[in-house]
Amino acid sequence: MADYQLIHRNNDAATASTNLDPCTVESKTEATYVNLLLVVESGIDVRLVEALQERFHLSILARRIVGGVEISQASSVPVSIGPSSRVRFALAVASRIWRSRTRTEFVLVQGYSLAALASNLSGRLLGIPTAMLVCSPVEAYYLCRRGHPEAGKQFRRYELTVLAVLARLNALLGGCYVVLSQHLADVMKKHGAKRSFIIPVYGVDTNLFSPVMESKLDLRSRLGLPVTGKIIFFSSRVAPEKDSETLLQAFRGLVEQGRDLWLLHRSGGFRNFVEAAEAHGVSNRVLAGDALHPVTELPAHYQASDLCVQASREEGLGFSPLEALACQIPVIATSVGGLKETIIDGLTGWSYPVGDSVSLARAIVQALDDPAEAARRSREGRKLVCSRYERNLVFQELVTLIQSVVQRGGW
């Protein structure tokens, strides 16, 4: 039987006797001297890289992303770049683990594809503990291409079969996962996972992502955003699983009703989003630009917004809603995947069925027209983020897990 370990934080006891924001309770994450190899196959967020660098002796091997970036933002953390071919990169991973076998104490590999297979096989042969870091349900994301094709992201049945085979092989050879949500743990269980540790790494820095302390109008003026109307923030990348189409349909309907709305979008695929907005006739109400730096720029754009929408067709967990809630910005999200664990309709936000633009538009109206209720739900949302997803807390759990495995000499 698969062994599932749910590690959820709860600061209630620490904050029950005070009226403080629950995020004001200090939490510290100790560094460890474990030599950790991080294998990155499909690009990774700079915040995870820098947090790991603070806590481990970190080495990174990343597959070259042609036309993209291996790490989301510039970082001082050194990265070794491998071949762009997934097969060649898997071979490079095996070679790297073999060459560094006397120094590497733990391998953390992104996903459960070819690079994971190479890591799990090498780790098993050399006695190096390995875990797969799973942030998204790969097959479910891939299935979103069917019926929603985009350039370079066509659905092919044989590729889906390959993904399923790799998932099963990795479960057999490795079977140890660090996942962001219970939803992802359930997905891994279907593949035959032996152990899934639910640790929402990345986490949310609740000191950076916090309620706005200045006038929202002053903040908008400083950021060059409109000072009139309501701003809806959509920060998801443009991909079949993120469903920008339904959001644009709902947004167009509300604009046609005469509502003074703006749609704020920041991602590496913003040009595609602008094209889609033009096709829906709302490009003049869209504020689009490249991805923001997650530390120096992103928090202020949440704070300047009135609402955050996560329109995903599938989602492993979804950090954008958590970041918005940490800023006490109301959230609307689809009732799917890991989002169902965080955006609870009537408690921490509004939810709606996948692909239902009418229900989404209705939720937007409710959230914007009832500011008192929106404020109540977003306050509850911030409490949730502070107790379960705060950055230092989740990384302490990861440190504790890896230290214990290394000290035991394996799983």
Counting every residue, how long is the chain? 411
pTM of the shown model:
0.90
Amino acid letter, residue 121: L
Please state which architecture CATH assigns to domain 3-203+390-408. 3-Layer(aba) Sandwich (3.40)
Residue owning tokens 């190096």: 128
- Mean pLDDT across the chain, nearest whole number? 91
Average pLDDT over residues 130-154: 87
pLDDT band at 21 (very low <50, low <70, confident <90, very high): low
- Do the domains 216-387 and 3-203+390-408 match in fold? yes
Tokens of 154: 């066509």
DSSP conformation letters of 306-371: SEEEE--SS-SS-HHHHHHHHTT--EEEES-GGGGGT--BTTTBEEE-TT-HHHHHHHHHHHHH-H
At 62 the pLDDT is 97
Q: What is the rounded CA–CA span in Å between residue 411 and residue 123?
A: 11
Q: Lowest-pLDDT range, 15-24, 117-126, 188-197, 364-373?
A: 15-24
Structure tokens at 214: 């200045």
The pLDDT of residue 30 is above 70: no
d(CA 117, CA 235): 32
The secondary structure of 240-304 as a DSSP string is GGG-HHHHHHHHHHHHHTT--EEEEEESTTHHHHHHHHHHTT-GGGEEEESPPPTTTTHHHHHHT
Closest CA to 141 of 22, 248, 242, 244: 242
pLDDT band with cut points at 50, 70 and 90 for residue 67: confident
- Quick check: helix, strand or coil at residue 106? strand
Contacts for 15-23: CB closer than 8 Å, 24+ residues apart: 21/382, 21/386, 22/382, 22/383, 22/386, 22/387, 23/206, 23/207, 23/210, 23/326, 23/382, 23/385, 23/386, 23/390
- Supply the pLDDT for residue 14: 32
Residue type, 347: L
Bridge-based pairing of strands 176-179 and 195-198 is: parallel
Counting residues of the chain whose pLDDT is more than 70, the rounded percentage is 91
**CB count, 10 Å around CB of 90?**
24
Which pLDDT score, from 0 to 100, does residue 150 have?
67
Residue 102 DSSP one-character state: T
Q: Give the fold, CATH level 3, of 216-387.
A: Rossmann fold (3.40.50)
Sorted by where each begins, the domain ranges of the chain are 3-203+390-408, 216-387
| Beta-bridge partners for 53 | none
pLDDT of 5? 38
d(CA 22, CA 186): 30
What band does 264 get if pLDDT is binned at 50, 70 and 90?
very high
- H/E stretch holding 153: none
